[in-house]
């Protein structure tokens, strides 16, 4: 991570070296450093909105197969990685904000079963912007979205990734 205090200004974003840019923005899309490597080429950015738009465009412009790869990079909500403390700092904070670190035994059972069923059907984990939700709405979303088609879940998953990405950028850059 950067050796300077966050948040940083858009002029500081524009003056980062390529390596610094990739380090600072390499996880705004979970574990997808390719996004930062592509977006850095679009500098300079006029403002944080333009930076967010560049990452959103990256997500829109990649192939369907690459979208699925991005979805697969995300951890299960309240899953094994969370239990072992192995989430990225961003994911850990987001899951904590949603209350997923304080599930009852019953909520944990329902979440685990629903996550497993969802992943078996779609081939990638259920993705929702945890910071915009709480435990009950996440469980309801998991159960409701299970009935969607593969195509609809890819679209919905990427839409949620875009929301997560924007919030992560807003944590990094002054606005």
**Any idea where the domains of the chain sit in the sequence?**
75-160
Separation of CA 122 from chain center? 18
Confidence of residue 5 (pLDDT cuts 50, 70, 90): confident
The answer to whether 175 is a known catalytic residue is no
CATH 1.10.3330.10 fits 75-160, yes or no: yes
Query: Looking at 40, 55, 59, 74, which residue is catalytic?
Result: 74
Quick one: average pLDDT of 15-37?
A: 96
- Beta-bridged to residue 8, according to DSSP, are 173
Kindly report the average pLDDT of the chain as a whole number. Answer: 95
pLDDT in tens, 82-126: 888 899 999 999 999 999 999 999 999 999 999 999 999 999 999
Please state, as a whole number, how many other Cβ atoms lie within 10 Å of the Cβ of residue 43. Answer: 16
pTM of the model: 0.95
pLDDT in tens, 120-152: 999 999 999 999 999 999 999 999 999 999 999
């Amino acid at each position: 991570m950067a050796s300077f205090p966050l948040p940083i200004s858009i002029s500081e974003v524009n003056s980062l070296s390529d390596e610094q840019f990739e380090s600072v923005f390499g996880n705004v899309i979970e574990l997808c450093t390719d996004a930062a490597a592509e977006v850095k080429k679009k500098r300079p950015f006029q403002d944080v909105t333009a930076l967010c738009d560049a990452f959103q465009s990256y997500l829109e412009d990649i192939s369907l197969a690459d979208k699925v790869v991005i979805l697969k990079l995300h951890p299960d909500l309240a899953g094994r990685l969370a239990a072992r403390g192995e989430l990225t700092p961003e994911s850990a904070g987001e899951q904590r904000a949603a209350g997923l670190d304080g599930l009852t035994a019953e909520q944990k059972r329902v979440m685990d079963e629903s996550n497993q069923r969802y992943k078996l059907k779609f081939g990638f984990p259920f993705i929702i912007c945890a910071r915009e939700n709480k435990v009950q709405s996440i469980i309801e979303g998991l159960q409701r979205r299970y009935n969607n088609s593969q195509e609809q879940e890819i679209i919905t998953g990427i839409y949620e990734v875009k929301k997560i990405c924007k919030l992560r950028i807003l944590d990094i850059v002054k606005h």
